[in-house]
Amino acid sequence: MMRDLHDHLKTRYRLGDLAERRANLAFVDVARADLRALLVELRDVHGFTHLSLLTAVDWIEEGRFQLTYLMNNRTANRSLGLRVFLDRADPVGDTIHDLWPTAATYQRELREMFGIAFPGSPRVDEEFILEGWTDMPPYRRDFDTLAYSQQTFSDREGRETHDPRAHMAKKLNPEGQR
Amino acid sequence: MIRFEPDRSQYPQPGDDGKLEIDLETGKYLKLWHGPNHPGITGNMSVELTLCGDEVVEGKVHVGYLHRGFEKLMERRTFIQVFPIVCRVCVPEPDFNEWCYAQAVEELAGIEAPEMAQWTRTLILEMGRFNSYMMAMGGIGGALGMGVIGQWMTYVRDLMLDRFEEMTGARIYHMFILPGGVRGHLPEGFAGRMEEVLATAERYLADVDKAMFTNAVFKARTKGVGVIDPALFEPYGVTGPNARAGGVAKDLRKDAPYLVYDQLDFEVVTETASDIWARAMVRRRDIDVSIALIRQILAKMPKDGPVMAKLPNVLHWKIPRGETYVAGESSRGEYGYYLVTDGSGYPRRVNVRGPSYTHAMALLEHLIPGTNIADVAALMVSLHTYPPEIER
């Protein structure tokens, strides 16, 4: 079924190969310029009316972000994940809040957590979860959580930190016998 | 029924850009923060209300009070290290996270959990759903001034937590479902003790029916209030009981059966009015479905058998590059995990799709304008939202 749909759509849209995960779940790459028209056709013609989620994956080694639009046909219970790739150096996505108002929330989160711009999306530049954040978007792969914690927080006074390997060796074998 | 109709001539008008022109200096409007610490709020979130008289003209949802960066934490842990933290994404119904994550890992790694584990997982998910509904029933009673409903439901939930404790060793975060299966078998005599809990629950629920659903005040404050137009369901991603209360007979347990739901007999509960009363009633009737399902599962499940599939060495477990999405019907609607792997020993990305993400943000902001200030709490609770699913 998903293959028929893919064959039908790829005559008019620039689509990659279909990656079938299950009988009712598949993923496909889509050219960014074709995304909106494809979403509208999937929604209005093929019954993919439910936006299950919109999220991003950081492929830092490849220098790009992947946006995943997971579309669901609730009558046929099939899901199609559309993958759109953005240049990591200047990530700008296309807002779809006019197609699904709930997408505005996802886009606001992606703006804050990955630094992906969605021009025209409502309240997209307002703080969503983070308040007064000045560092790089924290869900990017190159955000170092350990360094951030060490810079931002300090240890409680009197707290001792042990190297787990040395500590356990000492606990289990206090005499240091071989 | 007589409803109060305020003088709306003083209300703010939208400008050319469609935004409301709210000038607080005029003294016509009042800003009121509903939460984050407020008995009428569903967890640690807040709604910034703008009032004109006692009617809300604008509501903005603010989250960020309990963000713990779970999705980022998961990227820094091996596949097996992730499983004890996923349950902490959602307090009242944590088991759904465990199942979605385990199922997604199994799918990408090509592992199948044994039959005994599938039945036990289904049992745990229904017990979790029962508990979540107990909190929802108590919450909606509490939001409308009926604190005793909350006390009864908390008591019954506590009895179910006792069953969780004897099965898993933990009351809230069970960490029982892990990639490959479940941690153990049911204790000896579990079904009998569970039956006592279910029978007690039914007695209390009969009292709830009398005290709440036939109560004139409850009816007056919920019927025709907080109506969600079914045309909004798909644009706003409304799923689960919130959609079923508007006549949409969609339930992933039935439509896309997972675990052993295809071997169980149950009906999808629907109402038609799509108001607060209908949403409360769908949940009330769904508790009966859950109780019946728990009985069916305990009667039908195998008595013995392996509970874990053979896993590779979990300390060096690498999963080939791939992605999948696993979703099921939680007590609030579609709950799913999107898992991306890159061939390494760590997840590349884990994204949690909680139903509250859509219900408590875009939908709530859309529904709030025009609501009387006294009904805001009931409206929020009727959507049954949990903020941790938004800021995971």
Q: Which whole number is the average pLDDT over B248-272?
A: 95
Q: What is the CATH number of the domain that holds A85?
A: 3.30.460.80
Flag whether A105 is in a domain: yes
3-state helix vs strand vs coil in chain B, percent to 5: 50, 15, 40
**Looking at beta carbons, which residues of chain A come within 8 Å of B76?**
145
* Interface contact flag, B256 A24, Cβ < 8 Å: yes
Mean of per-residue pLDDT scores for chain A = 92
**Looking at beta carbons, which residues of chain B come within 8 Å of A73?**
none
**What domain count does chain A have?**
1
Q: Which of B76, B234, B255 sits opposite A49 (nearest CB)?
A: B234
The answer to whether residues A106 and A55 touch, using CB atoms and an 8 Å cutoff, is yes
* Nearest by Cα to A80 from A8, A128, A135: A8
Architecture of the domain whose range is B70-354 = Orthogonal Bundle (1.10)
Range of the domain at A123: 2-172
Domains of chain B, by residue range, sit at 8-62, 70-354
Q: Look-up: residue for tokens 């050219």?
A: A31
The amino acid that residue B34 corresponds to is H
Give the number of other CB atoms < 10 A from CB of residue B343.
Answer: 10
Angle at B230 between CA B141 and CA B3, to 5 degrees: 50
**Looking at beta carbons, which residues of chain A come within 8 Å of B229?**
none
Alpha-carbon distances, residue B94 vs B87, B97, B173, B291, B330 (angstroms): 4, 6, 6, 19, 10
* Interface contact flag, B69 A102, Cβ < 8 Å: no
Q: Which of B76, B239, B357 sits opposite A145 (nearest CB)?
A: B76
Q: Which whole number is the average pLDDT over B240-264?
A: 95
Q: Which whole number is the average pLDDT over B88-107?
A: 93
Flag whether A177 is in a domain: no
The answer to whether residues A26 and A46 touch, using CB atoms and an 8 Å cutoff, is no
The answer to whether residues B309 and B181 touch, using CB atoms and an 8 Å cutoff, is yes
**pLDDT of the residue at B4:** 62
* Interface contact flag, A101 B327, Cβ < 8 Å: no
Give the number of other CB atoms < 10 A from CB of residue A83.
Answer: 16
pLDDT surpassing 70 at residue B1:
no
* Interface contact flag, A57 B336, Cβ < 8 Å: no
Please give the residue that has the higher pLDDT: either B292 or B55: B292
Burial class of residue B7 (count of CB atoms within 10 Å of its CB; 0-12, 13-18, 19+): exposed
Q: Could you read off the pLDDT of B305-344 as tens digits, one per residue? A: 999 999 999 889 999 999 999 999 999 999 999 999 999 9
Flag whether A178 is in a domain: no
Flag whether A23 is in a domain: yes
* Interface contact flag, A145 B327, Cβ < 8 Å: no
Of A22-26, B21-25, B91-95, which gets the smallest average pLDDT?
B21-25
Q: Which whole number is the average pLDDT over B202-210?
A: 96
Q: Say yes or no: A165 contacts chain B, CB-CB below 8 A.
A: no
Q: Which of A19, A53, A57 sits opposite B336 (nearest CB)?
A: A53
3-state helix vs strand vs coil in chain A, percent to 5: 30, 25, 45
Q: Which whole number is the average pLDDT over A99-110?
A: 95
CA B391 to chain A, closest CA, distance in angstroms equals 7
Flag whether A24 is in a domain: yes
Q: Which whole number is the average pLDDT over B256-263?
A: 95
Flag whether A17 is in a domain: yes
Q: Which of B322, B327, B348 sits opposite A52 (nearest CB)?
A: B327
* Interface contact flag, A52 B340, Cβ < 8 Å: no
Q: Which of A22, A49, A139 sits opposite B71 (nearest CB)?
A: A139
Ranked by mean pLDDT, which of B22-31, B91-100, B119-128 comes out on top? B119-128
**pLDDT of the residue at A178:** 60
